[in-house]
Chains A and B, each alone.
Chain A
């Protein structure tokens, strides 16, 4: 099956993004070892409340239906409610990702009272031992408390968001059971080597055998489990998983970072994928529609070394971010190519040539134990 005409059209770009992620702050109470944005400390250049609202005015004019808010921990911002309430009042729905630390009973109530709001609580292990190695001591209990508070406030189906790792693949059923027990929805996404995740990817990413388990598990659960369409590289294993199954970077997806820089997607915080800043003349609209980078990304991309692969139509060569931050050519196989086509290349990339994320807001001094051990 080759890509549908709709997918071909989406690749040449839209007047406004469908899936816009906005990271409100680089500040975070946690220091997860796979943090895609290397968050920890607040950036002094962070957009002010007024600047943030001006961006929302622009997104409303572009008819962006909803935004995905993340961070860092977005609830750290004192104006968090001000910003999300303003967004909803402008007709822009909000989905936000949080580690749950600030969802006490009072905030749970306030969140429950809002319309057009979705909450994703991050959890990377179905038990504290598995989760806390990645997200830090106590973070499992924190997340569970937030879930309990949302459930008692009657929030309804919030989402539990899991990054699938070598250590938690075997817990997919347990995550599903946990979500079911709350009447919540499970969302699982692919680990990408972005941010601090670039340093920990080699220890955390699923093995090739586990990738087949993920594919089988997703095939069995269909549309009941959300994936953000992030596992399309697994389509090379068989019938396509639900979703658009394409890399949306700069085409249907983009990221606004806490200081207003616009990147092609949340997983490519690097100068090479920076298209502009929302504070530039012409604002976000001009960056989205006219930046050289985004226009380039909407051109047909070469299949390169994947051209001879029978699975290319389904897998599309995988994820650009995953290739970039493992030092692989962008027009070739994904580092987790299920055919194993990247394995030899991956082993031969000199560490010194692997790009580093351009922004690092990690708190100083903490050397994650899992990294120190290698």
Chain B
């Protein structure tokens, strides 16, 4: 897995996020991929990525406890693979 905590990230400009009771749906208009964000915390982090200079700052800002950072990091990694999130 890529180490991403100190990386600057953003949501891909062709992606729309739709909050849902379980978290959110992310849809990429170009590659037509539909991806599930499996918690509201995840949605908050993803939505705020471009506001902060690193993933770590975004996690702190969303009050995610450090024990959960690794699972967020790997979830974000798979969002990068599906082009929902990208490196800025």
Contacts and interface: CB of A to CB of B under 8 A. Distances in A.
Interface of A: 6, 9-10, 12-16, 18, 63, 65-66, 91, 93, 116, 118
B20 A14 contact: yes
Main secondary structure of the interface of B (DSSP, over half): strand
Contact of A65 (B16, B19, B20, B22): B16
A116 B29 contact: yes
A10 B21 CA distance: 9
Contact of A9 (B21, B27, B29): B21
Going nearest first, the 7 A-B pairs with the smallest beta carbon separation are A65-B27, A9-B22, A63-B18, A14-B20, A15-B20, A116-B29, A6-B36
B36 to A, nearest CB: 6
B22 A18 contact: no
A6 B21 CA distance: 11
Contact of A63 (B16, B21, B34): B16
Interface residues of B, number: 13
Nearest to B36: A6
Given A63-B16, A65-B16, A116-B29, A15 B21 contact: yes
A13 B20 CA distance: 9
Main secondary structure of the interface of A (DSSP, over half): loop
B88 interface: no
B38 A6 contact: yes
Contact of A6 (B19, B22, B29): B22
Contact of A18 (B16, B21, B29, B34): B34
B42 interface: no
B34 A65 contact: yes
A125 B64 CA distance: 54
B68 interface: no
B38 A18 contact: no
A63 B18 CA distance: 7
A240 to B, nearest CB: 17
B32 interface: yes
26 contacts: A6-B38, A9-B21, A9-B22, A10-B22, A12-B21, A13-B21, A14-B20, A14-B21, A14-B25, A15-B18, A15-B19, A15-B20, A15-B21, A16-B18, A18-B25, A18-B34, A63-B16, A65-B16, A65-B18, A65-B25, A65-B34, A66-B27, A91-B16, A93-B29, A116-B29, A118-B32
